[in-house]
Amino acid sequence: MLYDTHLAGGVLSGAAVLFLTGAPPETWPGALFLAGLASVLPDVDHGRAALNQALRKSVPMAGAAVNTAARAVLGHRAATHSLLALVGVATLFRLAVPVSAPLFWAALAGYLSHLVLDSFNPQGVWWTWPFGRRWSLREVLPWPFTFETGSRVEAWFLRPALWLGAVLLIARCLGVANS
């Protein structure tokens, strides 16, 4: 999936966690920001990913080195697209970046949303890295439920549906908080 689709999925999944846990309204902006940020983190292993491009532009030498190292060591949709990486991110958030429970769970939901969305891609995700193999929903669902990155289905259906879901859920929660 493309950056915008992952961002939409992260915001929607973060909003869902906040809604389901009854998180106070004042935690929502920070939690949705973290969910969105976490939703694009797995693509740190891809040189053209938005985070890598930002790093490359802000610190050219370091950005180029990080991009080259990430691609060489990790490969795309391998280590960073696994349950092991999700556990690593959870540990990092708990130990290095102490955040409240709503922010923690929203960030993890954002990261997980990336893995789920990439599972709709025919190339799949290596959920159990370094063991097993990549897995795609194409193995159990027919087209059009799986599709290539940047396809019309992603651009014209999936991404707008994710953003619409996020906006409706956030609006519902704000309406509930204000009533």
- Per residue in 107-140, pLDDT (tens digit) is 999 999 999 999 988 888 999 998 988 888 888 8
Predicted confidence at residue 135, as pLDDT, reads: 86
Contacts of 59 (CB under 8 A, 6+ apart): none
- Per residue in 41-58, pLDDT (tens digit) is 898 776 666 666 666 666
Per the structure block, which two tokens stand in for 34?
């973290």
Predicted confidence at residue 111, as pLDDT, reads: 97
> What's the Cα-to-Cα distance from 78 to each of 9, 42, 125, 176, rounded to whole Å?
20, 9, 7, 41
Closest to 18 in 3D by CA, of 105, 100, 89: 105
| Cα–Cα dist 1/119, whole Å | 9
DSSP state of 80: G
Per the structure block, which two tokens stand in for 16?
């869902």
The answer to whether position 172 is within a domain reads yes
The answer to whether position 55 is within a domain reads no
Report residue 91's pLDDT band, with 50, 70 and 90 as the boundaries: very high
The answer to whether position 102 is within a domain reads yes
Count of structural domains within the chain: 1
Show the domain range for 10: 3-41+76-178
Which tops the pLDDT comparison, 167 or 139? 167
Report residue 72's pLDDT band, with 50, 70 and 90 as the boundaries: low
pLDDT at 35 over 60: yes
Percent of the chain with pLDDT over 90: 49
Q: pLDDT averaged over the chain?
A: 85
pLDDT at 177 over 90: no
CA within 13 Å, CB half, 118: 29
The answer to whether position 86 is within a domain reads yes
Predicted confidence at residue 73, as pLDDT, reads: 63
The answer to whether position 155 is within a domain reads yes
The answer to whether position 15 is within a domain reads yes
| Cα–Cα dist 58/33, whole Å | 21
Residue 141 near residue 48, CB atoms below 8 Å: no
Which tops the pLDDT comparison, 9 or 64? 9
Region 160-179: what's the mean pLDDT? Answer: 85
The answer to whether position 27 is within a domain reads yes
What is the helix (H) or strand (E) element at residue 5, kind and residue range?
Answer: helix 3-21
The answer to whether position 98 is within a domain reads yes
